[in-house]
Amino acid sequence: MARMVRHEATGPNRIDPQEKPVFICAGGLSKTLPHCDGSHSRCKDEQAGTLYIYDTQRETVVEQKPDTP
């Protein structure tokens, strides 16, 4: 079954305390989910109020449309 997951965050969540920080993806583009791989950098040019639909590899925007709740 195909599923669209809506993510509004544009960066990772940090989990403390650890020996070293652990970052969990909050933007949905990481290829190493649930861990952050830095893919959120693609979100930096996204505009508020717009829904971005990425391809199945989470690399390229294939559609943009007004965000409707």
What is the SS3 assignment for 62? strand
pTM for this entry: 0.68
Any long-range contacts for 36-45 (C-beta under 8 Å, 24+ apart)?
Answer: 36/12, 40/9, 40/10, 40/11, 40/12, 43/10, 43/11, 44/10
With bands split at pLDDT 50, 70 and 90, how would you rate the model's confidence at 4?
A: low
Comparing 35 with 7, which gets the higher pLDDT? 35
With bands split at pLDDT 50, 70 and 90, how would you rate the model's confidence at 1?
A: very low
Read off the pLDDT of residues 17-67 as tens digits, 9 standing for 90 and up. Answer: 778 888 888 888 888 888 899 998 888 888 888 888 888 888 888 888 887
State the pLDDT at residue 2.
39
